[in-house]
């Protein structure tokens, strides 16, 4: 498949969680999804809502400009690829307010490296980073990276990969 599939939760993700009502829209996420769909990616609404409140969520999303390629279902391309339907909806990205990611040490190191790059860029823009590596490594490195990991809901268990 030459596109990515994004499965997105509704309550607490696309809107503030006011289930069974609908809270304020998460405009940043909606813009992210629209951008990806315009680029060819497919969107699946992935929610526990059923019946009337599911319809309300779909209608509300359409008012925000979001038309899903599927709702709580796999895409036809996935059915063909998997050789049948799967109970788990397949996606390349799952966006959900209940997400928890437990990264391997390799993935964690890569992610934290990217976060460090962001901090370095930020420091540079602020004119603070005269010695950028030293500015955030050393004693502050663990504090910063663990703080980022915690803030992003990422486990910071330093168990070695097998």
8 binds Mg ion (CB under 5 A): no
CB of 11 to Mg ion, least distance (A): 4
Q: Report which of 137, 92, 96 is spatially closest to residue 11, judged by C-alpha positions.
A: 96
Task: Indicate whether 11 belongs to the interface with Mg ion (CB under 5 A).
Answer: yes
- Residue 107 phi/psi, 5-degree rounding, is -65, -40
121 contributes a contact to Mg ion by CB under 5 A: no
CB 139, min distance to Mg ion, A: 38
Q: Of 29 and 129, which CB lies nearer to Mg ion in the complex structure?
A: 29
Q: Answer for the pair 105, 160: CB distance below 8 angstroms, yes or no.
A: yes
Q: How far is the CB of 83 from Mg ion (least distance, A)?
A: 30
Cα separation values, 45 from 8, 51, 62, 67, 107, Å: 5, 14, 12, 9, 27
The label of the residue with tokens 């990264």 reads 103
9 in contact with Mg ion (CB under 5 A): yes
* Interface map 67-106 toward Mg ion (x if CB under 5 A): ------------------------------x---------
Establish if 49 lies at the interface with Mg ion (CB under 5 A): no
For Mg ion, which stretch binds (CB under 5 A), given 5-13, 25-33, 68-76, 138-146?
5-13
Q: Does 12 bind Mg ion (CB under 5 A)?
A: yes
Q: For the CA atoms of the chain, what is the radius of gyration?
A: 20
Q: Report how far residue 51's alpha carbon sits from residue 20's, in angstroms, rounded to the nearest whole number.
A: 11
Which residue of this chain has its Cβ atom nearest to Mg ion in the complex? 12
Query: Both ends of the chain: CA-CA distance in Å?
Result: 32
């Amino acid at each position: 498949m030459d596109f990515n599939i994004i499965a997105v939760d509704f309550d607490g993700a696309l809107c503030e969680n006011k289930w069974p009502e609908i809270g304020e829209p998460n405009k940043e996420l909606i813009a992210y999804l629209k951008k990806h769909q315009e680029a060819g990616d497919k969107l699946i609404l992935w929610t526990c809502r059923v019946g009337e409140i599911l319809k309300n969520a779909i209608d509300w999303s359409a008012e925000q400009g979001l038309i899903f390629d599927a709702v709580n279902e796999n895409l036809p391309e996935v059915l063909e690829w998997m050789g049948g339907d799967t109970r788990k909806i397949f996606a390349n990205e799952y966006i959900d307010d209940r997400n928890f990611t437990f990264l391997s040490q390799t993935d964690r190191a890569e992610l934290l490296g990217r976060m460090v790059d962001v901090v370095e860029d930020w420091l540079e823009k602020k004119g603070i980073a005269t010695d950028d590596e030293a500015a955030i490594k050393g004693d502050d490195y663990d504090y910063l990276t663990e703080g980022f990991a915690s803030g992003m809901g990422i486990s910071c268990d330093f168990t070695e990969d097998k």
